[in-house]
Amino acid sequence: MNTYIVESKKLVKNYESGEVVTKVLHGVDFKVKEGEFVAVMGPSGSGKSTLMYQLGLIDNPTDGEIFIEGRDMVNIPQYERDDIRLNELGFVFQDYALVPELTAAENVMVPLLMAGYTSRKAYERAVDYLGRVGLGERVNNLPSQLSGGEQQRVSVVRAVSNDPKILFADEPTASLDSEMSKGVLSLLHDLNKKGQTIIMVTHEEEYGNLAERIVFLRDGVIESDRKTKKRPTK
């Protein structure tokens, strides 16, 4: 029985621009167990974000296999991939990307409505989750009325409000100062303690050390895969 919640086998990703082919991932084998907090690190251009986009079904690999809970994700139709992204995966991006016309609560509500929640239920859940991350007083604020750290917390809540099985975070602290970064990482850490599987791309070794495992990529291949000193949460 497969015990990995996400797994890639010989994952290859090339980008083509005219006749120029840029090879980014060169057959990456990557595995994450349920409840793990894995940091993907590496220098710029090493392929860490590209790996995350393939595993998160945002992009299609050139070759190789991806499994989520043992299910093949490469050979499924687009609508199934969309459905899996909605119900099983969550994404946090570097610059939060909250919809500017929506309040904090409404930004969180959108994926919930898409998942079939009624407007009232979605709002209650959004307010509940935002309250848990210290934004209970800010639920009706527009993104422009929130600090960067607050916006990133809303972005994390948006990603996890539908209880995804895996949370992908692509450099979630890159746009934040160190104080705000610590707040967001603490939030991710708390989520992981409650059993949330997290795959986080980061440049900062200090932040990477908050994960249980650091996978180091260089030139599209895994150079190292090591446990950190952090005690596993599960």
Partner 1 sequence: MKLKDAIDVGSFLAIRSIRRSNKYVTGLIIFILTLIFLNLVAIGGLLLGLIRGAEIGYIATYGGSVIIEPLEDEKYIKHPDDILDFTETLPGYIAYGPRHDMSVKLEAGYKEKKVGSEVSNVSGLLTGVDPELEAQTTNFPGMVSEGRFLESGDRDSIVLGSIVAGRGDTIGFGEALENVYVGDKIRASYGNGSQREYTIVGFLETKEPEINLKAYVTNEEIQDVFGFSDPKYTDIHIKIADPFAVRDFTAFYEEAGYDKDYTIERWDQAIGTAVDDVNDTMRALGDIIGGIGLMVGAVTIFILIFVNAVSKRRFIGIMKANGISSFAIVMSYVLQGVFYSVIAVTIGMVTLFGFLIPYVDRNPIDFPFADGVLYVPLDYAIVRLIVLLVVTFFSGLIPAYLIARENTLNAILGR
Q: Which residues form the interface with partner 1 (CB under 8 A)?
A: 53, 56, 58-59, 79, 82-83, 85-87, 89-91, 93, 97-102, 106, 109-111, 113-116, 119, 142, 158-159, 162
Enter the tokens of residue 203. Answer: 């440049």
Q: Which is nearer to partner 1, 153 or 158 (CB)?
A: 158
Q: How far is the CB of 139 from partner 1 (least distance, A)?
A: 14
Q: How far is the CB of 113 from partner 1 (least distance, A)?
A: 5
Enter the tokens of residue 122. Answer: 């979605």
Q: Which is nearer to partner 1, 142 or 221 (CB)?
A: 142
Q: How far is the CB of 123 from partner 1 (least distance, A)?
A: 11
Q: Which is nearer to partner 1, 70 or 116 (CB)?
A: 116
CA angle 35, 37, 42 (to 5 degrees): 150
Q: Which is nearer to partner 1, 124 or 225 (CB)?
A: 124
| Single-letter code of the amino acid located at 46 | S
Q: Is the CB of residue 67 less than 8 Å from the CB of residue 43?
A: no
Both ends of the chain: CA-CA distance in Å? 19
Q: How far is the CB of 224 from partner 1 (least distance, A)?
A: 27
Residue 156 backbone dihedrals phi, psi, to 5 degrees: -65, -45
Q: How far is the CB of 28 from partner 1 (least distance, A)?
A: 17
Q: Which residues contact 212 (CB under 8 A, 6 or more apart)?
A: 36, 37, 38, 227, 228, 230, 232, 233
* 194: number of Cβ within 10 Å: 9
Q: How far is the CB of 114 from partner 1 (least distance, A)?
A: 5
Q: Which residues of 129-159 are buried (b: 16+ CB within 10 A; e: fewer)?
A: bbeebebeebbebbbeebebbbbbbbbbbbb
Q: Which is nearer to partner 1, 95 or 225 (CB)?
A: 95
Q: Which is nearer to partner 1, 169 or 214 (CB)?
A: 169
